[in-house]
Every structure is written in structure tokens, then in C-alpha cells.
Amino acid sequence: MEHASRHVLVVDDEPTVAKLIQELLKIEGYEAEVFHDPRDALASFERQPEYYSLLVTDQTMPGMTGSELAEKMMARVPGFPVILCTGFSATIDGEIARSMGIKAFFSKPLDMMEFLTVVNDLLG
């Protein structure tokens, strides 16, 4: 297994968005595992939490919100870094996300350079 600091969990129910994020991360040298269902992502994380070093998740998805997914992962691994992205959400904003322990909050469409800067900062 490669060093865990290179493995990013990408969760977005829109395949084109997830693929774009995956490709961006790949260009930067990260391994990105994509899930379209947050429940599947959580199951994979719970099987091997040490394998992943970062969660990049959409907020609005069927079955579970990104913030709920983040809470569950951070409960399992305190301080686990999370980047939350949203097109629109009446329930969460950057301030609320940070108060939950989420490291970064982005509105869609993503500013790709800013996004990669934050990923690199979080993963050192």
C-alpha cells in the first residue's frame, strides 16, 4: 500500500464533478478514490480509516449529506481533514462548516487553483 498521505476520498453524487476532482488530484500526484453514494464511502472508510488522508465531499447528496458524512468520519478519526463543497445549501456555510471541524469549505463551481492549494496545505 502506498503512503496514506496520498489517498483522498472523493464523494459526489454527480459523476462528472467527481471525475473532474479525481483528475485534478491525480495531476497533483494524489490517489483519489471516488464514491457517488456517501454510505458506500463511509463503509470503505470504516473498513480502513488509516488508508485515507483526506475527504473531499459534496454537501447535497441522497442518503446522507456531506456534513453528516464528515461528522461520522471525524468521530471515528478525530481531526480527520475534510473539504466540503456545495453548489447551494441553506443548511451550511463556511462558518458552520468550520465550527464542526471541517477544514475547508468551497462553493461550486470550484476555483481549481485555490482548491489544489488547500489540498496541498492540508496534506503537507
pLDDT, tens digit (0-9, with 9 covering 90-100), for 14-35: 999 999 999 999 999 999 999 9
Q: What is the mean pLDDT of residues 91-97?
A: 92
**Domain spans in the chain, listed from the N-terminal domain onward:** 4-123
- Residue 3 pLDDT class (50, 70, 90 cuts): very low
Please tell me the distance from the alpha carbon of residue 10 to that of residue 105, in angstroms, as a whole number.
14
User: What is the Cα–Cα distance from 14 to 1, expressed in whole angstroms?
Assistant: 28
CA distance to 48, 79, 119, per residue, from 24 (Å): 24, 24, 11
> Could you tell me the CA-to-CA distances from 63 to 10, 39, 42, 91 in Å, in that order?
16, 7, 12, 16
pLDDT band at 4 (very low <50, low <70, confident <90, very high): low
Model confidence pLDDT, tens digit, residues 45-63: 999 999 999 999 999 999 9
CATH class of 4-123: alpha beta
Q: Are 66 and 41 in contact (CB under 8 A)?
A: no
What pLDDT is attached to residue 50?
94
CA gap 82, 97 in Å, rounded? 10
Report the alpha-carbon distance of residue 124 to residue 122 in Å, rounded.
Answer: 6
pLDDT for res 90: 77
- Considering the entire predicted model, what is its pTM? 0.94
Asked if residue 12 has pLDDT above 50, the reply is yes
